A and B are shown apart, each in its own frame.
Chain A
Amino acid sequence: MLRVEHLRIGDLSPLTFKVADGECLAIEGPSGSGKTRILRAIADLDPSQGLIFLDGAERNEMPASDWRHHVRYCAAEPSWWTETAQGAFADTEKPEAGRLQRLLAALGLAGSLLNRPLSMVSTGERQRLALARALMDDPKILLLDEPTAALDPQATALVEELIKYQLLSGRGVILASHNRAQIERLAHVRLLLPKRPRAGTTAEHAA
């Protein structure tokens, strides 16, 4: 379970909420309301004040790299540091045999995509490859920033199916999305961000 207490990020009002195992919390709000900043702060990619606990352990109790192994941030526009996606997957330590093939199949991606230069892979395919990359080493919490922004309806359905499966297998998910219908389909809890930050924003359980 991920528990966030009085998380202060820049001029946003302090945030307190929790995400249980197998639960999906959706962060809603207009552009510029701080959705990405919240996800980045939870992954400890930006300095922030407040406490974040994962299964009772505060983020500062463990090395940052361990924290990010468990609490995995997926950027809206994934970046790559290698010529082909294969190189980026090689970074993962001791990947479970066949896991990558299963993830690619679930996302509707051909295995040959791994060896194609990333500049020749479409935006939507890159976004799905990045999701597979994020799931390779079994994170406990997924922080998904607009995970289907670049996808067509068919690929969106596959990604949502995969997210549902991750929830069933006990992972917590925090989803930042503009897509109302997607939030309806996936989220158990919602966090609504005001356009102008006000004091004391907390999560309310959806009716």
Chain B
Amino acid sequence: MSYVPLTTTDLMLAATLLIINAAISWFFRLQLEKSIAIAVVRMVVQLALIGVVLKFIFAQTSPTWTAMLGLVMIVGAGIEVMTRQTRPLRGWQAFGLQTATLFFIGITVTGLGVGIIIGPDPWYAARYVLPILGMVLGNTLTGMCLVLDTMTETASRERGAIEARLALGAHRFKAMSNVLHVAMRTGMIPILNAMATTGIVALPGMMTGQILAGVDPVEAAKYQVLIMFLIAGATALGVVCAGVGAIVLLTDDRHRLRLDRIRKKS
């Protein structure tokens, strides 16, 4: 088994496939030409940049550099949680809470996975820490977005029922318990589906990458199982934090439902 590096010519050849995208957009008048161009340029620049940055950081084997890129990834994920929601909550508290949640989960789960389970030498080896942190953050933020979107939408729709319970003297967590229940289920389902169907429909990206790089498929599968456990745990934690946090932010200390804290549809 050997690893075949790609040349610039190879990539140019693959880029010709984008002509299909452009042709479809033109033929059906989707007016996506500009969006396609921006997306393609962004993807190439971002991936080239991260390739160079990772090469630099891997060469350093310094925990400081690893931690710094890790922090950038966490803040980026925090911003992504805000921008992905259809109707996010107003104010810096929402952003702060989400970023703090991602920080806490990213550090503990990646620490557990790399530091204790995989145990590379040195334990902070960026080659292990950063990709796993990225996968943990990506899946956690997807779960959190689903929970937050469901919370704001369900709370708006079920306003009467929530306020009926509050009016009867219920604590805000009790009044919102049905909403939380629906939202947490919604947040957990994608990762459960992913675990149930992985390997049947498509090979996960990381496993594919390892196989292409020449790793024994059985070893690659073992790594994939480990990653699935890590992201399942991380998603569950993210779902709980996002749900409970959303209740706190959607209500105030007098246990009033504060739908005015949800941003209006733009």
Q: Residues of A with Cβ closer than 8 Å to B?
A: 43-47, 60, 63-66, 68-69, 72-75, 77-81, 91-92, 130, 133-134, 137
Contact B164 A80 (CB under 8 A): yes
Partner of A81, one of B158, B252, B254: B158
A137: chain B residues within 8 A (beta carbon): 168-169
Which residues of A are found within 8 Å of B253, using beta-carbon distances? 64
Please indicate the chain A residues that have their CB under 8 angstroms from the CB of B158 in the complex.
Answer: 79, 81
- The docked-state distance in angstroms from the alpha carbon of A130 to that of B171 is 19
A45 to B258, CA, bound (A): 9
Q: Mark B151-173, 1 if CB is under 8 A from A, else 0.
A: 00000001011111111111100
Q: What B residues does A68 contact at CB under 8 A?
A: 166-169
Residue from the list A60, A66, A72, A77 in contact with B167, Cβ < 8 A:
A72
Q: Do the beta carbons of B165 and A45 come within 8 Å of each other?
A: no
B168 with A133: CB separation less than 8 A: yes
Say whether B164 contacts A81, CB under 8 Å: yes
Q: List 20 A-B contacts (CB under 8 A).
A: A45-B167, A46-B256, A63-B255, A64-B166, A64-B256, A65-B171, A65-B255, A66-B169, A68-B168, A75-B163, A77-B160, A78-B164, A79-B161, A79-B163, A81-B178, A91-B174, A133-B168, A134-B167, A134-B168, A137-B168
Residues from chain A with Cβ under 8 Å of B171 in the complex:
65
Q: A75-B163, A77-B160, A81-B178 are in contact. Are A44 and B168 (CB under 8 A)?
A: no
Query: Which 3 pairs from chain A and chain B are nearest by CB?
Result: A79-B160, A69-B169, A81-B161
Would you call A47 and B252 a contact (CB within 8 A)? yes
Secondary structure call for the A interface: loop
Chain A residues closer than 8 Å to B178, beta-carbon distance: 81
Cα distance A99–B242 when bound, in Å? 40
A45 CB, min distance to chain B CBs, angstroms: 6
Q: Contact check, B168 vs A64: say whether CB atoms are below 8 A apart.
A: no
With the chains together, A41 CA to B160 CA distance in Å?
A: 16
Q: A47-B256, A91-B168 are in contact. List 17 more A-B contacts (CB 8 A).
A: A45-B167, A45-B256, A45-B257, A64-B254, A65-B171, A68-B166, A69-B169, A72-B167, A73-B167, A74-B167, A75-B160, A77-B160, A79-B160, A81-B161, A91-B165, A137-B168, A137-B169
A66 neighbours in B (Cβ, 8 Å): 169
- Name which residue of chain A comes closest to B253, CB basis: A64
A81 and B165 within 8 A (CB): yes
What are the residues of chain B within 8 A of A73 when measuring CB–CB? 167
A91 contacts which chain B residues (CB < 8 A)?
165, 168, 170, 174
Q: Assess the B169–A65 pair: CB atoms within 8 A.
A: yes
Taken together as a complex, chains A and B put the C-alpha atoms of A66 and B170 apart, in Å, by 9
A66 to B158: give the CA distance in the assembly, Å: 23
Specify which chain B residues have a CB less than 8 angstroms from the CB of A81 in the assembled complex.
158, 161-162, 164-165, 178
B166 and A45 contacting across the interface, CB-CB below 8 Å = yes
- Of B170, B174, B254, B256, chain A has the most CB atoms within 10 Å of the CB of B254
Beta-carbon contacts under 8 Å, B234-266 to A: 252-257
Q: Which of B158, B168, B255 is the most central at the interface, judged by chain A CB atoms within 10 Å of its CB?
A: B168
Chain A residues lying within 8 Å of B254, measured Cβ to Cβ, are 44, 47, 60, 64
Bound complex: CA A175 to CA B252 (Å):
27
The answer to whether A80 and B161 touch across the interface, beta carbons within 8 angstroms, is yes
Q: Which residue of A is nearest B165, CB measured?
A: A81
In whole angstroms, how far apart are the Cα atoms of A45 and B167 in the complex? 7
CB distance from B158 to the nearest CB of A (A): 7
Q: Report Cα–Cα, A133/B164, bound state, in Å.
A: 10
Which chain A residues border B252 with CB–CB below 8 Å? 47
Complex-state Cα separation, A92 to B158, whole angstroms: 20
Tell me, rounded to whole Å, the shortest Cβ–Cβ distance linking A133 to chain B.
7
Q: How far is the CA of A153 from the CA of B183 in the complex (A)?
A: 43
Q: Nearest chain-B residue to A63 (Cβ)?
A: B255
